[in-house]
Chain A
Amino acid sequence: MRVARITATLASILRVYAFTFLLVGLASLYWDPPETPTFGLSEDWGLPMKTTTVGFLLCFVFVLLLSFLLGALISPSDETLREREAYFIIGFGWILCALLGALPFILAGATRSVSVASFESMSALTTTGFSALPTPLEQYAPSVHIWRGTLHFFGGLGIVTMLVAIVGRLTAGGVRLFASESAGEFVRIRPRFSDTARSLFVVYLTVNFLTFVALWFALRYTGPSLDWKTAAYEAYVHAVGSIATGGMGTRSDSILAFNSVLVNWIIAAAMLVGSISFIFFFQAATGGGLRAFRESSVLRFYLTFLAVSSLAVSAFLYMDGHSAPKSLGVGVFMAITSTATCGYTVLDPNVFPDGAKLILVLLMVTGGMVGSTAGAVKVDRIHVLFRLSYNEIRTLLHPHAVSVLKNRGRIVPPEAVRRVIVFFFAYVTLFIGGALAFGVLGFDFDSSIVASAASLGGVGYGWGMVTTGFQDPVTEVARIVGMLLMWLGRLEIFAGLLLFTPMLYKD
């Protein structure tokens, strides 16, 4: 591996990343109250600005300097990125971004613990949504929430996709980065990969904006009737949280605090949109109409799966004594939030009957569609596995029948099928391994299962010991396990595991 190539690419990622700190710093000037709670840090500084603003601006300068430093090491002569370098950059880039993203939580005074800040940042960046900041969340300055939302926004599409979309060309080998970050088979919807990234980004921006507008109106004029300034920031945090399927909110009891059915349904719809392949939206927007949606057998499978499991969750709630409309509403919302791997809740998950919890964990493992911001196994792979199983049964009767999988009339290559099976195995193994680790660290059975499923899948809500997240008394070691699972889940496991293999570093 050539260090200069890697640092140069990381530098270009950081150069874009730095400006998110600046933007949130500017936002803090407007949104943060003059007397921002700073947990005892502000008195010592004596600066004529809000401490949160200073914190974000310091981060901006630091990250920018770091990017220049990394970029200035050596100017690389050979432009192409090798495969191993690309994988290292992806794996390490996410860790670096998460660590740098932790700085504002400390500088803005939200926490003093490095593990809490890092966990918060990793959780936000991987669009998981578990929190480690001490509750209640209402005590933090708006800029802290805006920062968490912005990390969601940045991590939703993936850091490389964002970078390519914004600065255009990355490097000659950048297409490898792009391909290894997007889940499964990445689809070129336009001939140039930078155009593909840009198209995805435009779709992403558009749906975020539409959700923001809808939420702003709902928060301003119905239900909570917030003043327009508060409504704007609440709408921003929840819009990016839904579309990026992150799930971090501004209140400790999630969106229940708004007590607005309209807000709930807007968020449910946004989460669903965030879990459907953005390629479909791109094709619809560029004159394809609804064909892409209609013709997708995966989408049909996904929606059927979602409908059936919603009804199952609703049935369990109904049998547990909730009213029928409430059961149905909560069932649908919770099914979407789980499979879209978002994590907003409309009812304290601790009151759910065991059967409902079981289905929700299943949905957390399933996940949304490839090409969306959702995580976990992804329903495309589940679809393949279901069809493989059907073929296997059919082969018993017709041992000589051709039984390969087809997708839109094309045969799925055997290597692709193999990758799906191996991925599923690795995912389930990690899920069980994670649950075991949490169990060893003192979690009870329910909590360790949901903590593992929700971390690995990037879901970010749970029950038992992780009802509000990974706050104390959850130990630092458990937080590190959680971060590791979130990171591996976001990198589709193998790209992450590769960093731990010595063969990556041997040339």
Chain B
Amino acid sequence: MYVVIGGAGEVGYHVARALRREGHSVALIEQKKEVLEGLSDLDALLVQGNTASLESLEEAGISKADLFVGASGNDEANMVACGIAKTFGASTISRINSPAFLDEPASTKYRKIGIDVAVCPELVAAQRVNNLLLAPALASADIFAQGRVAVVESKLLPNSPAAGKRLAAVKPPAGVNVVAILRGPEVIIPRGEDMLEAGDRLLLCVVSPDALQVAEKALGLRPGKPAGKIKRAVIAGASRVGVRLARLLEDRMDVVLIEKSRDLATDAFERVKDTLVITGDATDLRVLKSESVETADVFIGADRVEEYNLLSALMARRLGVRHTIAFVNQVAAKPVVEDVGIDLALTVRETTASSLLRFCYQIDALDLSILAGGEAQVLEVQVPTACPIAGKPLKKIDFPRNSLVGALVRGKETLLPRGDDLIQAGDRLIIFALTEAVPRIERLLRK
């Protein structure tokens, strides 16, 4: 596949890198010279120019492209560029941030002007947090299949009985599947013969909260914080993510949104329903106390400024808020933030990249998550009707080596499949795979 990507910021870069790893040809268009200069390690055609200009697009080879991804931070440029790309016959995906243009995570409403799929990354990010708050434990988790399958990251303690053993010998309890081992920068999609080491971070696929607690004991994992019932949320920063998160959460809990700027607070107020919007500084202890932030179950730093998110979340934690989440800008800052005691650090850009990537595949990807900075992916895929793998037992299907079906959702049933289980058309598979393995999965599950 030949892919042209408009915009080489962090979003465009992540999409480009993932597609490149999967073996596709990639061309990037970027206005800023200094940004392009920083991309010399990427094996891609780099074009300097405006994303929406015909010359740049032609220079990037739009005439032979199969796919165009508008990934720049400028909505109008993305939309126009998609329109132009469409005239050359490419499939198009556009990132659209402004709520005035798009108010749903993904939409085909701009198909007539040449945008096959319009994606709103902030809304995807807000939805991700919304999902996370439904998870059984709030520890670098992710949620699939409308909250029925949770992916939980947990650390193997030094005194763990499982350390030094082969995975096959450990036998995790029913309802829990070890789907990935994160060891330093390395990601291992495990087989039975892989060894577990103390300090490994395990990704567990979990279908019930109880199973997780059993597994934590059995495997000697650092116990996660049970999420408990979340009834009150405080969000700092009326950024696009902050406001959208408030709108998602206000239906099922009390939400307080704190914003420094009076204008932004008023704009946010216009867009929410029942959320209490406070004008004030979320790093000001008096503001936090006068709004009784300590009674909140979760605090989310969602401002554009990452330091502000970090500081306000730490203050909230000190006041006694059980769960703290902070949005950071750089993917690299995530572990640092989690090290200082924030439960969860998230980046909008990573979510943006994964939400765009999801539509780049020729499979029916219902959801996609990027793991370990792009090394691996979690895909939620529906098995198409006319698919060669439908009706076969799992062990007879030629899944690539570095991939694993972590969970399977069939109607109301959720199961962790074993080798003998049959895969049927219409099943939703939660697949864990190294990024290199994705094209082969794509071939297996093509629409």
For A410, give its contact among B270, B276, B278, B290 (CB under 8 Å). B270
Instruction: Find out whether the CB atom of B270 lies under 8 angstroms from the CB atom of A400.
Output: no
Chain B residues in 8 Å Cβ range of A400: 278-280, 287, 290-291
Bitwise interface map of A from 60 to 88 toward B, beta carbon under 8 Å scored 1, else 0: 00000000000000000000000000000
B290 contacts which of A399, A406, A409 (Cβ < 8 Å)?
Answer: A399
Quote the shortest CB–CB distance from B264 to chain A (angstroms): 10
Bound CA span A483–B278, Å = 49
Answer yes or no: B277 CB below 8 A from chain A CBs: yes
Chain B residues positioned under 8 Å from A406 (CB to CB):
269-270
Q: Decide yes or no whether A404 CB sits under 8 A from chain B.
A: yes
- Residue B265 CB within 8 A of the other chain: yes
Q: Is B330 an interface residue (CB 8 A)?
A: no
Q: B266 near A: Cβ within 8 Å?
A: yes
CA distance A409 to B277 in the complex (A): 15
B291: A residues at CB distance < 8 A: 398, 400
Is A402 a contact of B290 with CB atoms below 8 Å? no
Q: Convert B264-276 into 0s and 1s, putting 1 for each residue whose CB lies closer than 8 angstroms to a CB of A.
A: 0110111100001
| Total CB contacts across the A-B interface at under 8 A | 32
How far does the Cβ of A413 sit from chain B's closest Cβ, in whole Å?
Answer: 11
Across the interface, which residues of A come within 8 angstroms of B268, CB to CB? 402
Roughly how many angstroms separate A56 CA and B190 CA in the complex, as a whole number? 100
Contact residues in B for A402 (Cβ distance below 8 Å): 265-266, 268-269, 277-279
Q: Are A401 and B266 in contact (CB under 8 A)?
A: no
Return the CB mask of A392-431 against B: 1 if under 8 Å, else 0. Answer: 0000001111101010011100000000000000000000
Q: Interface residue count for B (Cβ, 8 Å)?
A: 14
Chain A at the B interface: SS class = loop
Most B C-beta atoms less than 10 A away, residue of A399, A401, A402, A409: A402
- Bound complex: CA of A280 vs CA of B271, how far in Å? 24
Closest residue of chain A to B277, judged by CB? A402
- Contact present for B269 and A404 (CB under 8 Å): yes
Contact check, B266 vs A411: say whether CB atoms are below 8 A apart.
yes
Q: List chain A residues, Cβ under 8 A from B287.
A: 400
Q: Which residues of B contact A399 (CB under 8 A)?
A: 290
Give a binary string over A230-262; 1 marks a CB under 8 Å from any B CB, 0 the rest.
000000000000000000000000000000000
Instruction: Report the separation of the CA atoms of residues A402 and B287 in the bound assembly, to the nearest whole angstrom.
Output: 14
Q: Which of A166-213 contact B (CB under 8 A)?
A: none
Residue from B268, B276, B280, B290 with most neighbouring chain A CB atoms (10 Å)? B276
Q: Are B278 and A409 in contact (CB under 8 A)?
A: no
Question: In the complex where A398-B291, A399-B290 touch, is A411 in contact with B276 (Cβ < 8 A)?
Answer: no
Set of chain A residues within 8 Å of B265, measured between Cβ atoms: 402
Please, which residues of chain B bring their CB within 8 A of the CB of A411? Answer: 266, 269-270
Which residues of A lie under 8 Å from residue B269 when comparing CB positions?
A: 402, 404, 406, 411
Q: Give Cα distance in the complex from A406 to B267, angstroms.
A: 11
CB of B276 within 8 A of CB of A409, answer no
- Cα distance A140–B277 in the bound complex, in angstroms: 64
Do the beta carbons of B277 and A401 come within 8 Å of each other?
Answer: yes
Closest Cβ of chain A: how far from B423's Cβ, in Å?
46
A401 to B257 CA separation, bound complex (whole angstroms): 9
Query: Which of A399, A400, A406 has the largest count of B CB atoms less than 10 A from its CB?
Result: A400
**Chain B positions 233-285 with a Cβ under 8 Å from a chain A Cβ:** 265-266, 268-271, 276-280
What residues of A have a CB within 8 angstroms of the CB of B279 in the complex? 400-402
In contact, B270 and A398 (Cβ under 8 angstroms): no
Q: CB within 8 Å of A: which of B311-368? A: none
Which residues of B are found within 8 Å of A404, using beta-carbon distances? 266, 269
Q: Which residue of A lies closest to B279 (CB)?
A: A400
**Cα distance, A406 to B291, chains bound together (Å):** 22
Tell me whether A401 and B270 are in contact (CB under 8 A).
no
A401 to B277, CA, bound (A): 5
Nearest chain A CB to B271's CB is how many angstroms away?
A: 8
Q: List, in ascending order, chain B residues with CB within 8 A of A410's CB.
A: 270
Query: A398–B266 contact, CB under 8 A?
Result: no
Chain A 363-398 interface 0/1 with B at a Cβ cutoff of 8 Å (1 = within): 000000000000000000000000000000000001
Taken together as a complex, chains A and B put the C-alpha atoms of A406 and B269 apart, in Å, by 9
Measured CA separation A401–B278 after assembly (Å): 4
Q: What B residues does A398 contact at CB under 8 A?
A: 276, 278, 290-291
B12 to chain A, nearest CB (A): 34
Task: Give the complex CA separation of A411 and B262 in angstroms.
Answer: 14
What's the Cα separation between A409 and B270 when bound, in Å?
A: 6
Most chain B CB neighbours (cut-off 10 Å) among A401, A406, A410: A401
**Smallest CB–CB gap between B136 and chain A, Å?**
33
**A151–chain B nearest beta-carbon distance, Å:** 44
A455 to B344 CA separation, bound complex (whole angstroms)? 66
Closest-CB distance, B273 to chain A (whole angstroms): 9
With a cutoff of 8 Å between Cβ atoms, the chain A residues found around residue B277 in the complex are 401-402
- In the complex formed, the residue of B with least CB distance to A410 is B270
CB distance from B86 to the nearest CB of A (A): 33
Collect the chain A residues with CB atoms within 8 Å of residue B290's CB: 398-400
Q: Which residue of chain A is the closest to B284 with respect to CB atoms? A: A400
Residues of A within 8 A of B280 (CB): 400
The CA-CA distance from A237 to B277 in the complex, in Å, is 53
CB-defined contacts of A409 to chain B, threshold 8 Å: 270-271
**Complexed CA–CA distance, A398 and B276 (Å):** 9
CB distance from A297 to the nearest CB of B (A): 12
Give the CA-CA distance A404 to B270 in the complex, in Å.
Answer: 9
CA distance A409 to B269 in the complex (A): 9
CB distance from A341 to the nearest CB of B (A): 33
Residues on the B chain within 8 Å of A401, using CB = 276-279
Tell me how far the C-beta of A283 lies from the nearest C-beta in chain B, rounded to whole angstroms. 23
Collect the chain A residues with CB atoms within 8 Å of residue B276's CB: 398, 401
Convert A115-144 into 0s and 1s, putting 1 for each residue whose CB lies closer than 8 angstroms to a CB of B: 000000000000000000000000000000
Considering only CB atoms, which chain B residue lies closest to A409 in the complex? B270
Docked Cα-Cα span, A415 to B436, in Å, equals 60
**Once bound together, how far apart are the Cα atoms of A410 and B272, in whole Å?**
10
From B276, which residue of chain A is reached at the shortest CB distance?
Answer: A401
The chain A residue with its CB closest to the CB of B258 is: A400
Q: List 14 A-B contacts (CB under 8 A).
A: A398-B278, A398-B291, A400-B279, A401-B277, A401-B279, A402-B266, A402-B268, A402-B269, A402-B277, A402-B278, A404-B266, A404-B269, A406-B269, A410-B270
Q: Report the 3 A-B pairs with minimum CB-CB distance, sorted nearest first.
A: A402-B277, A402-B269, A400-B280
List 18 extra interface pairs beyond A400-B279, A401-B278, CB under 8 A: A398-B278, A399-B290, A400-B278, A401-B276, A401-B279, A402-B266, A402-B268, A402-B278, A402-B279, A404-B266, A404-B269, A406-B269, A406-B270, A409-B270, A410-B270, A411-B266, A411-B269, A411-B270
